[in-house]
Chain A
Amino acid sequence: MNRDQPVNTLNGLQLSSIILGAMLGLGPLMNVRFATLEAGRDAWISIILAAILILINLWIMTRVVMIYPNKTIAQIISGLMGTWLGKIGNAVNLVLSLMICAITLWYTGHIFNVYILLFTPSIVLSSCLLFVSVYTTWFDVRIIGRVVVVLFFVSFLFAIFFVPPVLQYGQIERILPIGKTGFSGIWHGMLMVMYSFAGYERFLVFAPFLDKFQGMTRSVLLSVFYVSLMFIVGAICEQLVYPILFLQKLWTPGIEYVSLVNISILERTDLIFILFWFGVLFKTHVSYFYSAVLEMKELMNAKSKTPAIVVSTIIIFATSFIKVNNVEMENWMFWTLSITVGISFIIPISIITMGWLKRKVQ
Chain B
Amino acid sequence: MKRMRIIFCILLLCCLLSGCWDYAPLEDKYIVTGIGIDISEQDPMNMDISVLGISNIQANATMHGEGRTVSDALRSIQNRIDKAVLISHLKIVLISDRIAKKGIQTYLDILSRNSQIRSDTQIALVHGRAADYFVQKNFSIPIDASYYSDTFQLSETIVDPHEFFLNSILFRLSEDGKGFAIPYLRWDPKQKLLVWSGIGLFNNGFFKDTLDERETVAYYLIKGSLSRAMITIGRSSPQLPKAQAVSIRIFSPSRKLSWSDQNGVKTINLSIQLKDEIIEASPLNNRPITSQELEHLQNDVNHDLTHLLHSVMDKIQKTDRMDPFGFQEKARVQWPNWYQGDHWNEQFSAVKWKFDVQILIERFGKFI
Chain A residues in the interface with B (C-beta under 8 A): 1, 114-115, 117, 119-120, 128, 131-132, 135, 138, 168-169, 171, 173-174, 176-177, 242-243, 245-246, 249, 256, 259-260, 262, 268
Q: Kindly report which residue of chain A lies nearest to residue B1, judged by CB atoms.
A: A1
User: With A117-B22, A245-B174 in contact, is A168–B162 under 8 Å at CB?
Assistant: yes
Chain B hits for A169, CB < 8 A: 162, 168, 171
Partner of A128, one of B1, B15, B171: B15
Are the CB atoms of A115 and B115 closer together than 8 Å?
yes
Q: Kindly report which residue of chain A lies nearest to residue B329, judged by CB atoms.
A: A173
Are the CB atoms of B336 and A177 closer together than 8 Å?
yes
**Distance A176 CA – B333 CA, assembled complex (angstroms):** 7
Which B312-360 residues have a C-beta within 8 angstroms of A? 329-330, 332-333, 336
Partner of A262, one of B24, B120, B329: B120
What total count of A-B pairs have CB within 8 Å? Answer: 50
**Distance A122 CA – B1 CA, assembled complex (angstroms):** 31
The 5 tightest CB contacts between A and B, nearest first, are A173-B329, A246-B174, A119-B22, A245-B174, A243-B175
Are the CB atoms of A173 and B333 closer together than 8 Å?
yes
Are the CB atoms of B12 and A135 closer together than 8 Å?
yes
Contact with A along B131-170 (1 / 0, CB 8 A): 0000000000000000000000000000010100001101
Chain B hits for A245, CB < 8 A: 174-175
**Distance A119 CA – B22 CA, assembled complex (angstroms):** 7
Q: Kindly report which residue of chain B lies nearest to residue A245, judged by CB atoms.
A: B174
Chain A hits for B21, CB < 8 A: 120
**Distance A256 CA – B119 CA, assembled complex (angstroms):** 9
Chain A hits for B119, CB < 8 A: 256, 259-260
Q: Is B118 an interface residue (CB 8 A)?
A: yes
Are the CB atoms of B118 and A268 closer together than 8 Å?
yes
Which B113-127 residues have a C-beta within 8 angstroms of A? 115, 118-120
A5 to chain B, nearest CB (A): 15
B204 to chain A, nearest CB (A): 14
- Given pairs A119-B22, A246-B170, 9 additional interface contacts (CB within 8 A): A117-B22, A120-B22, A132-B15, A135-B8, A138-B8, A173-B332, A245-B174, A260-B119, A262-B120
Q: On chain B, which size bracket covers the interface?
A: 20 to 34
Contact with A along B182-200 (1 / 0, CB 8 A): 0000000000000000000
Partner of B115, one of A114, A132, A135, A168: A114
Chain A hits for B162, CB < 8 A: 168-169, 262
**Distance A201 CA – B234 CA, assembled complex (angstroms):** 73
A144 to chain B, nearest CB (A): 15
B328 to chain A, nearest CB (A): 9
Chain B hits for A119, CB < 8 A: 22, 24
**Distance A120 CA – B329 CA, assembled complex (angstroms):** 44
10 A-B pairs with CB atoms under 8 Å apart are A120-B21, A169-B162, A173-B333, A176-B333, A177-B333, A177-B336, A243-B175, A245-B174, A259-B118, A260-B119
Q: Is B11 an interface residue (CB 8 A)?
A: yes
**Distance A27 CA – B44 CA, assembled complex (angstroms):** 47
Chain B hits for A176, CB < 8 A: 333
Chain B hits for A115, CB < 8 A: 115
**Distance A249 CA – B171 CA, assembled complex (angstroms):** 12
User: With A128-B15, A131-B15 in contact, is A242–B171 under 8 Å at CB?
Assistant: yes
B332 to chain A, nearest CB (A): 7
Which B2-18 residues have a C-beta within 8 angstroms of A? 8, 11-12, 15
Q: Which of A114, A115, A246 has the most CB of B within 10 A?
A: A246
Q: Kindly report which residue of chain B lies nearest to residue A132, judged by CB atoms.
A: B12
Chain B hits for A114, CB < 8 A: 115
Chain B hits for A260, CB < 8 A: 119, 167
